[in-house]
Each structure stands twice: as structure tokens, then as C-alpha cells.
Structure 1
Amino acid sequence: MLRPSTIATWNRNPADEEAMGAAHAPIWRRMVDVSVPHDLSGSTILDYGCNQGGFLRLLYDRQPFKSAVGLDIARESVARADLLKGHRPIEYRVGDSAADLGRTFDFAFSHEVLYLLPDLARHAADMRSALRIGGAYVAAMGCHTDSSVWPRWRQLISETSSIPIYDHSLEAVARTFTESGFTVAVRPLDLDAFMPVTVGSPYFPRIVDQLRYYSQDKVLFRFVRKP
């Protein structure tokens, strides 16, 4: 099944869609802390799969950048992001092609987007066209076939997601981006924050599942565009 060109929101439940930003904030902060240089004042940024725009707002408030674009196929989510951006130099666009933006970026980010893409090679080529030579794309990924929680999560996410999901291994991601003209590096997210424990969570029925996920299963890829 092909990914739809646009959707209204990612989550079928509006309340869950609204809650996503707060839940992801500790992860976004960790992404910024371990993958972003100290000075972004002259840099251009792309957030691929921006949802309601929380990552770019957090990034700008911590390390102001020159300009940014948030790209997402969810129309209502993008509209919400635009309302929330305030004074920040961010543009939000509906779509799934970074190349169609007609510009190049110094850095690109995505959070749990890769498992929603049916064609990794197409995405890698698209991101390569949108990055300057030496530009870096940092992609957070916990939804992959090497994750200990993926068999359970795949079913749970399928019940709430507005689009299909796909089974990608870490090796498949690394191989695809290597073959598409990137140098590839990876590290565990290794979240250095307290995470709220939700007793009875279907995603983390045991605390050890939560600890293992954030210290081992969830990873950050860094893809750097070669000439």
C-alpha cells in the first residue's frame, strides 16, 4: 500500500494527537543535546514529519537558528503548528517531498518517521537532494524490527495510526542511506531524564521494558551527505 499524499491528523484520536508534543519533549531535548552544535545562528533546518511543530519550537528556544521548514502530510497538524510558531522564523508546509521545497538545508531531523515510509530509498534520495554537501540528517527511530517491543507496538500503533506502518530493520536503514550517498553513524538515544511511569501502559507493561527501550532500542541515526 502506498503512503497517502495527505491526511488530516496522524492519530485517529484528537486528544492523543494533542498530547504527543508533551510526551516527546524529553526525547527532542536529548536529540538536540547530543546531535546539534552549539551555534545554529547561521543554519537552516528541516523537520521532516513535523506534526504540530513542537520540535522546531523547542530547538529554536534552546539554540536559535537562521530559518527552518517543518514538513508534514497531516494538514490539520501543520495548521496547528503554524498557529503555535509565534515569532520564530519557521515555515510549515503540507507535503512529503523535501526536494519540492526548492532549497537546501544545513541540518534535517525526523522523529519516528522512517517506519511510516514504504520506500526508504526514495526517502534517502529525497533527503540527499535537500541537504547541502556535508549536511546532516538526524533521525530518531525506536519503531524497528530489532526493537524488543516492536511486535507489541506494531499492533498497538496500527490500531491508532491514520496511515500504514512498515517493518524496517536498523541494517536496512543503514544500508539504504549508505547506498544513497551518505556516511552513516548511529548511537542509542540513551535518554538522560526521568520518564513518567504509567501503571498499566499497553506500550510498557513492565518498567524494565521502558528502561530498555530508551537506553537500547531507540536509536539516533546520523546521515551526512557526501559529495
Structure 2
Amino acid sequence: MSTDKTDAAFSTWYIDPDAEDKMADWHAPIWRHLIDLIVEKDLSAKSVLDFGCNQGGLLRHLYAMRPFQKALGIDIAEASIARVESLKGNLPVQHQVGSSLLGWDGEFDLAISHEVIYLIPDIAAHATDIFRSLKTGGVYYAVTGCHTNNPLWPKWRTLVAERTNTVVQDRSITDYAKVFQTTGFTVSARKLEFDGFLPYSESTWTPDFADALDYYTQTKIVFRLVKP
């Protein structure tokens, strides 16, 4: 695996590959809450994109709660895409290594990314790529708590740099909103406001349990971006 963090693709997001499975387990209740927030209830005839799908957990949860017609999961982590193919079962999902949606113009009714946009070097190019891949009236839900408005960000940006194979970006919530609006999206947002019980676990990301509670209820943001 290359150690150059500017590479277009790499083996895993985390330098420690075992961290991928732990991350999926932790994200499961957050994914279910996010799916509950999605305004579009009936996806039975819809095409869905998961940008930065990692090992495909979000799409599997989505299909279990709101079955879709077909989906694409795309990710730059090659080992994650290789593994997700063994996990998808009979789900109508394709997977692709990379970050470009070239060839998928006007394909998707719904796009989702969870904790991905803060790692994308050229966010304007990403916004254009997603916009082009959506049908007219299509919606992109982009979720992130990693932004400069997060009081934990000064510490977290160091952890991200040390523990992942990615290049950290510093952007505010307003920075994201302006880029997506300039691209042509109708931009709105809300706090994730996770309302379930968070299990306690020792973590260097949130060593104070109160920080974890604040992060998932107050800091994490869900953008709803509509292509007119």
C-alpha cells in the first residue's frame, strides 16, 4: 500500500485495518437514525448512491428499512470494496473503486455520504460531480460532524491525520453551504440530533463521554441538497 496520502485510491481508510469493522459497528445506530430523517420514504423505484460507502453498511441498513430498486456504492478504499462484495448478499447493489462518477450522469434519485465530505480535497469538484449524477429533483444527504465549528476539531484533525490514509481538510458549515449553493443545489441543513441511547466505550476521539453525547446531538450536521 502506498504511503502517499495524495493517491487517488488506497487499501483502507484507516491505517489499522481492524478499525474498519469497529467503525461499522459504532455507526449502525447512527445510520438508522439518519435513514429515519430522510424525507423520501418510498424508495422502491429509486436509484441510490452511497458516496464513500466503505464496507457497505449504510446501504445494507437502508435496504432493510426502505428497499430501493438499485444502488451504487463507491469508495476509494480498494480493500473495503473487495470486502463489501462478499457482504452484500442478494442486494441490488454495484460497487466501484474510485471517487469519480463519470458515466453516471442523471442516474440517481438519492445520494448519501456519511462522514466523507470533510476528507475531499476539491469539494467544489465533488459537488459538481454529485449534481451531474443526480436526476432533476434528486436529493443529496451529506452528513458530517468534522468541520471547524466542532469544538473537538483541533484535536480530531490531528487524530485523522495520524490514523487514516487521507488528507485532512478544514472547512466550516458555511463553507460547505456556499459551495453546494454555487454548484446549483437548493441547500438546507439540520443537526443530526441523535435521540437514542449512546453506548459508552473508551475512545481517544471522545475520552469525555459528555463530548460524545454533545457531538451526536448538537455538532453533527445533515445537509439536504436538492437538484432543482
Q: Report the TM-score, using the length of structure 1 for normalisation.
A: 0.95
Whole-angstrom CA distance in 2 between matches of 1:119 and 1:26: 30
The answer (yes or no) to whether the contact 1:197–1:207 under 8 Å persists in 2 is: yes
In the alignment, is the contact (CA less than 8 A) between 1:99 and 1:127 conserved in 2? no
Out of 15, 31, 36, the position equivalent to 2:34 is 31
For residues 102-113 of structure 1, what are the structure 2 equivalents within 5 Å?
102=105, 104-113=107-116
AA in 1 matched with 2:114: H
Aligned to 2:119: 116
Name the residue aligned to 2:189: 186
Q: 1:158 to 1:122 in 2, by over 3 A?
A: same
Match of 2:176 in 1: 173
Q: Show CA shifts across 1:86-124 (max 9, x none).
A: 011000111101233355100000001111111111000
The SS at the match of 1:195 is: coil
Q: Percent identity?
A: 44
- Name the amino acid aligned to 1:58: H
Which stretches in structure 2 are left out of the alignment for 5+ residues? none
Aligned residues: 225
The 1:113/1:3 distance shift into structure 2, 3 A limit, reads: farther
**Structure 1 Cα separation of the partners of residues 134 and 20 of structure 2:** 29
Give the structure 1 partner of residue 221 of structure 2: 219
Partner of 2:78: 75
Could you tell me which amino acid in structure 2 is paired with residue 158 of structure 1? Answer: A
1:141 aligns with 2:141: no
Structure 2 match to 1:64: 67
**3-state SS, counterpart of residue 185 of structure 1:** strand
CA displacement, residues 37-72 of structure 1 (integer Å, 9 cap, x when unaligned):
221100000000000000001100111100000000
- After the TM superposition, which parts of structure 1 deviate over 4 Å for at least 4 consecutive aligned residues? none
Q: Secondary structure at the match of 1:99?
A: coil
Q: Where do 5+ consecutive residues of structure 1 fail to align?
A: none
CA 1:207/1:9 → structure 2, altered by over 3 Å: closer, same or farther? same
CA RMSD of aligned residues (A): 1.4
Give the direction of change, closer, same or farther, for the CA distance of 1:103–1:92 in structure 2 (3 Å limit): farther
